[in-house]
Structure 1
């Protein structure tokens, strides 16, 4: 488990076109709940569609979701 934690990085650092797996969310209950409602739960695979320095557009579970940079900073992922 520690190996996975050491290899994680914030979603905000993933490149456009990169597919990653959500490892953990370091946020309060409200944000975790909101992300769960969007289908963003630990273990889910997602692809960064667009990153122009502002909000990220990601594909998850056959949907597209726009995430603010602050949200993406709290979501830690590993390469898929």
Structure 2
């Protein structure tokens, strides 16, 4: 893996791929409902004015996720843009 980290630590305008979800219960169900599974590509868009939550482009939809939730999503950086 090129660069494994949690989603909340990645800077804006970068692309990542999900490699693991380290969470159970309702939060895991929410991630799955949003299509956040292993292999999902995500573009980090921007932070809200107060810094949290952040906006992400996931499967063609802009989704806001709080940092405390994003720290459970393990990702690796990818160099190519999403199709």
What displacement does 1:51 show? 2.6
Give runs of aligned pairs for residues 1-80 of structure 1, distance below 5 A. 4=1, 7-52=3-48, 53-80=51-78
Deviations 1:24-78 (A, max 9, x none): 0101132111101011111000000013531110001110110011111111100
List runs of 5+ in structure 2 lacking aligned partners: 79-83
Query: How far apart are the structure 2 equivalents of 1:61 and 1:7?
Result: 21
Question: TM-score with structure 2 length normalisation?
Answer: 0.83
Deviation at 1:7, TM superposition (A): 3.5
For these two proteins, the number of residue pairs brought into alignment is: 76
Distance 2:47 2:17 in 1: 17
* Larger displacement relative to structure 2 (60-69 or 28-37): 28-37
Mind listing any 5+ residue stretches in structure 1 that lack a counterpart? none
Q: Following the alignment from structure 2 to structure 1, what is the Cα–Cα distance between the partners of residues 23 and 7?
A: 13
